[in-house]
Chains A and B, each alone.
Chain A
Amino acid sequence: MLKTNVLRFTLPIVVLIGIVSLWYFVSYINLFPAYALPSPLDVLKSFQEELMAGRLVNDIIASLWRVAVGYVIAAVLGIPVGLWLGQHLNARQAFVPVLNFFRFLSPLAWIPFAILWFHIGDKPAIFLIFMATFFPLALATLVAVASIPSIYFRVAQDYNYKGIELLTKVTFPAVLPQVITALRVSYGIAWVVIVAAEMVGCQDGLGYGIWEARNGLRLDSAVCYMIVIGVLGMGIDRLLAQLTILPGVRWGYER
């Protein structure tokens, strides 16, 4: 047991060290020119530089804020819409094709509209995050509701659950594990989309940072931003994963 735990932590570190060493080696022997592949040391230096200038922290806050706002609006609207559609067959049949259409439409396709409607700043990015996450969240909730075993509703009827109580005490807890999974998946989408969104409509943010680095041919800075994006993405997913250990949802993952 102890051994597996130790391995669980050491193996990824070994892989990480291996990749960085390989990267270091490749740049050391100048396999690619330095402007095309910055060395780990250059990236480290650029990290220091960005931190000292305060730009990196500012960009992180800007991106997190935009993702949080767009994502929360999408969740607050998308989950109830999914709950409602899941319970009404006719409405479901009417709306599912449209929802699916927009789900498969890359949120980046909305960039022209985002800029035209919301100009420059937080709003176009928030709009794009919303468009990227609302549809998968609504659809996942809808599918989860539609596939609740009918026996739960039979039991609910036996014990007189009706209306809002039926929704909050039976329907919602029955889909909560799937909703949490959908939240994690759509957060992943949001985090990917924010980078692209900030490349066009913003004056700060992690995506803008990469765009700036490219304009200045500073790939060391771009790599530094890429590392931050990856680490933050993983970190927030770990936070969301904590939702899956709530006692009232464990059943959804352990059965």
Chain B
Amino acid sequence: MKDKHSNSRLIVEKVSHGFGAVSVLADLNLVVRLDEVVVLVGPSGCGKTTLLNLLSGHIEPASGSIQREGIIRTVYQQDGLFPWLTVSENISIGLRAIADIEQQKQELLELLKLIHMEDFANHYPHQLSGGMRQRVELARVLAGDSDILLMDEPFSALDYQARHRMRRELNRLLEKRPRTVVFVTHDIEEAAQLADRVLVLSKRPATICRELKISARRPRDLTDPSVIEAMAEILKELGLNTSDGIDT
């Protein structure tokens, strides 16, 4: 098991992108530091997912450059697991690069233990709850030698309580296996609880309109002053605080 990674790098320089006549991202700059959790929030349709696709290399930017080093993996909103494979087999996909079978087995057991799903090793995704499925996805992206995790609203399909639990879970997992994370969400609580840095994106064409560092240690409670403060800031930036809502 490798689990240390000093070579991951993600740098976005002056990136602009659009689809046809619609400009989606405008002149965006971003440097993600090693083991940093960067959370992107913004109005829906502002180009968050486009940015993730650019970061992962699934699409190329129209202009500007993106430098990436290290193995990048993505956690999708839902249904990212292969339904024809069991929990073990799905996690093992993340271990494909390990040649030694014994080591692969060992690592698989460790990951199952890490997400507390030893008893579900032979279950299929459709036999699990939404939260359990996302935990398996997390195990898969953490497996082996991944460096950078891209998360595309990974908990948005879950109910409120499950989302809460998954945030705790992600914090716990990242503490044990630190990774560089770019996390896209529309959930402000999620941003405030998880992020080292929150980037608020503007409406289309999106650019970073506010950068917010949260230095309080994770895990952070929802009632933690740093979380409440960060939420207020983000809401204000998005034009969603109560006083703004009345007259518009």
**Least CB distance, B42 to chain A, in whole angstroms:** 22
Interface size on B, residues (CB 8 A): 19
A-contact 0/1 string along B51-91, CB 8 Å cutoff:
00000101000000000000011101001101111100000
Please report which residues of chain A, range 232-255, place their CB below 8 angstroms from some CB of chain B when the two chains form the complex: 247-252, 254-255
CB of A120 within 8 Å of the partner chain = no
Specify which chain B residues have a CB less than 8 angstroms from the CB of A247 in the assembled complex.
86, 124
CB of A12 within 8 Å of the partner chain = no
Q: Is the CB of B84 within 8 A of A160?
A: no
> B73 contacts which of A152, A158, A248 (Cβ < 8 Å)?
A158
CB of A119 within 8 Å of the partner chain = no
**How far apart sit A249 and B83, CA to CA, in the bound complex (Å)?**
8
> B124 contacts which of A154, A159, A176, A250 (Cβ < 8 Å)?
A250
B-contact 0/1 string along A150-194, CB 8 Å cutoff:
011011011110000000001001101000000000000000000
* With contact pairs A250-B124, A251-B126 given, residues A160 and B96 touching in the complex (Cβ less than 8 Å): yes
> B58 contacts which of A152, A154, A176 (Cβ < 8 Å)?
A154
Q: Is the CB of B73 within 8 A of A249?
A: no
Q: Is the CB of B96 within 8 A of A159?
A: yes
Instruction: With CB as the reference atom, state the residue of chain A lying closest to B141.
Output: A158
Specify which chain B residues have a CB less than 8 angstroms from the CB of A158 in the assembled complex.
56, 72-74
Specify which chain A residues have a CB less than 8 angstroms from the CB of B124 in the assembled complex.
247, 250-251
Q: Is the CB of A173 within 8 A of B82?
A: yes
Instruction: With CB as the reference atom, state the residue of chain B lying closest to A176.
Output: B84
> A151 contacts which of B72, B80, B85, B126 (Cβ < 8 Å)?
B80
Specify which chain B residues have a CB less than 8 angstroms from the CB of A176 in the assembled complex.
84
Interface size on A, residues (CB 8 A): 21
**How far apart sit A254 and B86, CA to CA, in the bound complex (Å)?**
15
Chain B interface, DSSP helix/strand/loop, else mixed? loop
Specify which chain B residues have a CB less than 8 angstroms from the CB of A252 in the assembled complex.
83
Q: Give the interface centre of B72, B80, B84, B125 by most chain A CB atoms within 10 Å.
A: B84
CB of B34 within 8 Å of the partner chain = no
**Least CB distance, A245 to chain B, in whole angstroms:** 13
Q: Is the CB of B83 within 8 A of A251?
A: yes
Specify which chain B residues have a CB less than 8 angstroms from the CB of A159 in the assembled complex.
73, 93-94, 96
**How far apart sit A221 and B56, CA to CA, in the bound complex (Å)?**
70
Chain B residues proximal to chain A, CB less than 8 Å: 56, 58, 72-74, 76, 79-80, 82-86, 93-94, 96, 124-126
Q: Which 4 A-B residue pairings sit nearest by Cβ, starting from the closest?
A: A251-B83, A173-B84, A248-B84, A251-B126
27 pairs, CB–CB < 8 Å, chain A vs chain B:
A149-B79, A151-B76, A151-B79, A152-B82, A154-B58, A154-B76, A155-B74, A155-B82, A155-B93, A158-B72, A158-B73, A159-B96, A160-B96, A173-B82, A173-B84, A173-B85, A174-B82, A176-B84, A248-B84, A249-B84, A251-B83, A251-B84, A251-B124, A251-B125, A252-B83, A254-B126, A255-B126
